[in-house]
Amino acid sequence: WIDMNELANFCPGTTCVRQSGVTCPNTGSISAITTCCLRCSGDGNKYDNPPFAINNVNSRDAIYNKGISTSALQYGNIRQYDAHNLYGITESIVTNTVQEELANKRSFVLSRSTFPGSGAHVAHWTGDNAATWNDLRWSVPTILKFGLFGIPMVGADICGFSGASNMELCARWTALGSFYPFARNHNNLEAPSQETYVWPEVTTVGQKFIGMRYRLLPYIYTLGYHAHVEGFPIARPLFMEFPTDTATYGINYQFMLGNALLVTPVVNQGATSVTGYYPAGVWYNIFDYSKISSTGRSVTTTVTLYDLPVHFRGGTILAMHQTALTSTAARLTPFDILVALPASGNADGDLYLDDGETISNPSATIVKFTASAGTFTSTVEKNDYAGAHSSLVNKVIVLGVTSSPSSVSLGSISKYDSATQRLEISLSSVKQTIDTDFTITWK
């Protein structure tokens, strides 16, 4: 974790004198340590006050606030104004490189200061947010922007970093944060405890949504693979998946997790319903499999404290594990393959597997999934990861099956629910591994 990894200074300005009545150096609380010991001035120039304003610290402070003056000269007569953003990305590159050289394994480095392209080296969190509903709301567009900046592994401090969180806020934020690419509950030393177990209601929310995150780890890991080799963000604005739907252009608080999952967070205090926009197609609730058929419209859903609408996009397929307390344990559980048939046409998806540690040219297994009315096929395109040989497929769940089939070509029918048009095909008896091609037909 590399923090404060740029030039930081709590007394900004070019001309400074000691402040009377301030004891330095400061000791004690965090707020005392960061008290400015000096009184500074001399910032009336175009580099410290450029002809534009940025929303720095939510109060449009000067661009150099809590840094050195952006008019300062670096080596080679380069102004801090032009070099400031290089600190974070260059330290990120060095830190990641050294970590991997020492351990000979992939590192995980979390950096406060980043720059477009930093995501090739480090993850990022959105900084010192507050335990407020406003900061919960703004976490979503912030994360989406960083994905577009080339930093796919990004998240906000769940429940808020500064100030006192509360049960409702933390419950809603825990549900939302479970679908951040980088999910972490984190606050400062002076704030009250806000762990998931502090409130029984939040514990229940965590069990549901963090549990679902662990089930979705194969999908999220596959998204990480695509981010690495193709540059796609993990969390995406709706307009990225639906570029011709102009209604998606102004949506700030919904997002796609990859191409398959639409997340509609509850972002307002006391809310008993949430309205989201559903682009044209078929959408299945990932928890109860209820369906929304849309031509491109807004839908209002009633929610309790324990609800957050997450919908699986018709035409997509993803692989899931069983829930577990750690990612290591989850990796050892069998796969469930979830298929969302569209109203017409085919569905597809993929799965990337490796050991999670090898740095370059890892042995990997890549599986492609396709489905249409009556048929599901799993095709292994690359099969170099030995761990895939022992990874079993527990069942295939197909959504959008309009009538109850009488037979399947592989495994057995374990359930058909006409209300949700859900067909579950158990493969537990045939010991089907994920690294072997197979096809299932039903009729």
Residues assigned a catalytic role: 3, 6, 128
Cβ(172)–Cβ(181) below 8 Å: no
Peptide bond just before 25 cis, omega within 30 deg: yes
**Per-residue tokens: 49:** 């006050």
Cβ(312)–Cβ(260) below 8 Å: yes
Question: In angstroms, what is the C-alpha Rg of the chain?
Answer: 25
Cβ(347)–Cβ(375) below 8 Å: no
Give the containing element (helix H, strand E) for 123: strand 123-125
Q: Which residues are bridge partners to 155 per DSSP? A: 125
Q: Which residues of 32-67 are buried (b: 16+ CB within 10 A; e: fewer)?
A: eeebbebebeebeeebbeeeeeeeeeeeeebbbebb
Cβ(12)–Cβ(62) below 8 Å: yes
Cβ(114)–Cβ(90) below 8 Å: no
Q: How far is residue 328 from each of residues 232, 333, 389, measured CA to CA in Å?
A: 25, 10, 17
SS3 at position 421: coil
Cβ(394)–Cβ(218) below 8 Å: no
DSSP string, 121-176: T-EEE--S-BSSHHHHHHHHHHHHHHHHTT--SEE-EET-SBS---HHHHHHHHHH
**Per-residue tokens: 130:** 């507050």
What are φ and ψ of residue 74, in 5° steps?
-90, 180
